[in-house]
Chains A and B, each alone.
Chain A
Amino acid sequence: MSLDDQKSSASNTSTHTTGLIMLALSAICILLALKIFKGRKRDVLVLIALGLAVAAFYVLANPQSTEKHYEKDNVENAYGEVSLRIDCSVVFDHWEELDETLKDGDYWPKDGIILERSEYSIEEGDTAFDVLLDAVTQNKIHIDYQGGDANIYNTVYIEGIQYLYEFSCGKLSGWTYAVNGSFPDVGCSSYVLSDGDFVEWMYTYDLGRDVGNLFEGEGE
């Protein structure tokens, strides 16, 4: 029976709550099938399909409590160490252009360094995005990003760090990154890091010009 399959797949999943919810779901499915849809095969099939879809969504979504999300997990196959720093000091130079809603809260340290330079272990093939995600998770810093499947560049786009979003401080503002002082031409999830790299995430007011990313033919 496919309903039993649903139950057995539930016991395989990792978390306790997942199992409980899936058990309840299949119990509801069985009850409904027995009571309401007596002698209506197609309805039962559709219901099972719906139940499986919900279960699949649940497994894909992988809900985690906040505490569990911020638990430190150890890097197993350490390949090297990279250092990372997050800097939004530009905001304090253009305070008058900042969104009203961000002015009231005390969201960033006064020097604009959201995350001091520190070392993080990486595995082979880790990208600039992986190490950023590691760092913000370890330090309980808020992050919002657009997944690589959601845009035409197939690379992750960092929308906001610590409630500071793109366009929060003027029309040309947003997050940009530099590795060892130079600005890569690819998105952060396409840049593979090597041992000893220094990744710097910077908030820019002027499409990167103010933090040192000059376009060809500009400046020196």
Chain B
Amino acid sequence: MKFFSNLHPIVLFVHFVSVMGMVMFTMNPLLIGMAFLSSVVFALSSEGFAAIKKTFIYAGCFIVIVTVTNPLFTSNGVTELFFVFGRAFTLEALYYGAAAGFMLASVFIWCRAYSAVITSDKFLYLFGKPFPKLSLVLSMSLRFIPLFARKMKAVSDVQKTMGLYSKESLTDRFFSGARIFSSVLTWSLENAVDTSNSMKARGYGFPARSSFSMFRFTQRDGVMLTLIVCLAGTAYMGIINGSLDFYYYPAVLPFVKTHFTIYSILSSGVVLFLPSAMETVEKALWNFYTSKI
């Protein structure tokens, strides 16, 4: 059932890097739309709606804020909707803001979904040998937010059990949350030092040290890696040679220009939807086999 996350870490990492680059280096609305849609589908298929609901809410708020804020800071664009602060609020700036908002939201959701797939043991397996310090810092910072959330929940639960901060008032709850936040922040700084000390005590970074989990690079991994590299390469060529360029200012220009535009859009679509498609196929196969028993 976990076909994609069972791939070799190097395949996962290459996919992660190529997706991130694709999302971040272009403002093409079609590519951004696909990236957002695929991030949502992947997050849903890998973690389920209940676990990811909050991420979606934050991402939605983020999109709205970025979209509305951009036209306040730039008045470029031929379609003037109305005037605020004496300057034009244009439709083009709104479009650009929406594109930027969806881009940031999809990066956010992709990272969230990947943190469940590329776990810290995979990360240390990949980069523990060549860059021990950097990979420890990275894996600790990747782990930081979920750990922080868990600790905050624990502290606030204890406080509630002791009868503190259990008022109904939203303002009171906000201030108690802020107090817990500051104390957990202090704790997390100390915890980071402790973690690195204990890793050192266990011989982390010592050349002869082996990894916690071992992964074998199979034929299947090789096929997937080649596929991802080829498709992502096509998409990047499109980004570099300008066939994915899209202009918002002063007027929005149509984006399909060359045949290469279509190729790179298609190949980036395949790369983006690959994980969720693989999970779906695997699920269908599983259902098919179990129906025969």
Contact = CB atoms under 8 A, between A and B. Distances in A.
Contacts of A43: 169-171
B26 to A, nearest CB: 15
Contacts of A160: 76
A43 B78 CA distance: 43
Interface in A67-107: 68-69, 100-102, 104-105, 107
B253 A104 contact: yes
B90 to A, nearest CB: 9
A105 B250 contact: yes
Contacts of A60: 85
B112 to A, nearest CB: 29
Contact of A63 (B75, B76, B83): B83
B171 A42 contact: yes
B80 interface: yes
Interface in B74-132: 74-76, 78, 80-89
Interface string A23-59: 0000000000000000010110010000000000000
Which of the listed residues A62, A101, A165 has the most CB atoms from chain B within 10 Å of its own CB? A101
Interface in B9-57: none
A165 B253 contact: no
B253 A63 contact: no
Contacts of B170: 40, 43, 46
B253 A163 contact: no
Given A61-B85, A101-B247, A163-B249, A40 B80 contact: no
Interface of A is mostly: mixed
Contact of A163 (B78, B82, B85): B78
A42 B172 contact: yes
A65 interface: yes
Contacts of A61: 84-85
Contacts of A105: 78, 250-251
Contacts of B253: 101, 104
Interface in B248-275: 249-251, 253
B82 A64 contact: yes
Contacts of A63: 82-84, 89
A144 B250 contact: no
A40 B245 CA distance: 54
A142 B172 CA distance: 48
A142 B82 contact: no
Contact of A40 (B75, B89, B169, B250): B169
A14 interface: no
B250 A66 contact: no
B74 A144 contact: yes
Contacts of A64: 82-84
A67 B247 CA distance: 27
Contacts of B169: 40, 42-43
A29 B172 CA distance: 19
Nearest to B173: A43
B87 A66 contact: no
Which of the listed residues B78, B171, B251 has the most CB atoms from chain A within 10 Å of its own CB? B171
Contacts of B84: 61-64
A69 B169 CA distance: 44
Contacts of A142: 75, 78, 80, 88, 250
Contacts of B74: 144
A7 B46 CA distance: 50
A107 B172 contact: no
A64 B84 CA distance: 7
B168 interface: yes
Contacts of A143: 75
Nearest to B74: A144
Which of the listed residues B80, B83, B84, B251 has the most CB atoms from chain A within 10 Å of its own CB? B83
Interface of B: 74-76, 78, 80-89, 168-172, 245, 247, 249-251, 253
Interface of A: 40, 42-43, 46, 60-66, 68-69, 100-102, 104-105, 107, 142-145, 160, 163, 165
18 contacts: A40-B170, A40-B171, A42-B171, A43-B169, A60-B85, A62-B86, A65-B82, A66-B81, A66-B83, A69-B82, A101-B251, A105-B250, A142-B75, A142-B78, A142-B88, A143-B75, A160-B76, A163-B78
